[in-house]
Chain A
Amino acid sequence: MRKTISLLVLLFSIWLLLSGHLEPLLLILGGLSCLFIVWIAVRQDVVDHEGHPLNLHPLRWLRYSLWLIGEIVKSNIDVAKRIWNPKLPITPTVTVLPAEMIDLGQVIYANSITLTPGTVSIDVQDNRITVHALSRDAAEQLQRGDMLRRIQHVIKES
């Protein structure tokens, strides 16, 4: 029930932000369409912890996002330097990383790895993530497990 209500509030605020209309008639129509979509979602039984994760700690999530943005900027500059370097100093590496945690954590981990340039998650199987890295440094940085620890901190107590 909590998830259904929060989904309704979320949908309605997105509708409001995208439309920008404040006339009563349009507000009611928008609210009705949001209700209709929530009704369909409840009937399809997709309002669960997977489709609508509420149990993430917002402050920890924000801190992780800011850290991830910093990492993305750093690795972008690193990959750009490698590409512009006339010698093309790349050392492609494939490594396997341990990722023993709940599904949501694995999704966040694999997505974060792919989002940072220089590392791409190829496969997720049996609590392990196969990663292709453009340079050996990037692979070693992932093996140190800094990102894994931060994600475990985000999804803790859920």
Chain B
Amino acid sequence: MQLLTDIISWTTILGGSFFVITGGIGILRLPDFFTRLHAVSMPDTLGVGLIVIGLVVQTGFSLTSVKLIMILLFMLFTGPAATHALAKAAIHGKLEPLLFNKEESSSSS
């Protein structure tokens, strides 16, 4: 039984860590501000989500797991607000998003 919960929780925690690392690599690889925003939202959702699920499996049915789930809910509610604030600030700062069509025409010319 202990082994089973360990296997489940470690799989989900490692899966979550993978998405957090992928988000970091995305920030490094993607070309401009707006595309990088998409990479940031990955650790915010599935990264945190899987890690919290793994921790809940470890703690079992207790008040601690309720607190962990509350942390997850707050992350899910505040994440989009922060991302939207960043995107709107960039638009107001007259930052032009890099678009696929423009890129295509500039590379063909």
Contacts and interface: CB of A to CB of B under 8 A. Distances in A.
A132 B34 contact: yes
Given A80-B19, A134-B38, A93 B100 contact: yes
Contacts of A123: 88, 91
Interface of A: 14, 17-18, 20, 72-73, 76, 79-80, 83-84, 88, 90-94, 110-111, 114-123, 132, 134, 136
Given A83-B22, A120-B84, A123-B88, A115 B97 contact: no
Contacts of B37: 120, 132
Interface residues of B, number: 36
Given A111-B80, A120-B83, A92 B63 contact: no
7 contacts: A18-B63, A76-B46, A83-B30, A110-B80, A114-B79, A114-B83, A120-B37
Contacts of B26: 79, 83
A89 B93 CA distance: 28
Interface of B: 18-19, 22, 25-26, 29-30, 32, 34-35, 37-39, 41-42, 45-46, 49, 63, 66-67, 70, 76-77, 79-81, 83-84, 87-88, 91, 97-100
A120 B44 CA distance: 13
Contacts of A76: 19, 42, 45-46
Contacts of A90: 30, 35, 100
B63 A17 contact: yes
A92 B46 contact: no
Contact of A72 (B45, B67, B81): B45
A15 B80 CA distance: 26
Nearest to B86: A120
Contact of B41 (A17, A93, A117): A117
Contacts of B34: 92, 120, 132
A133 to B, nearest CB: 8
Nearest to B32: A92
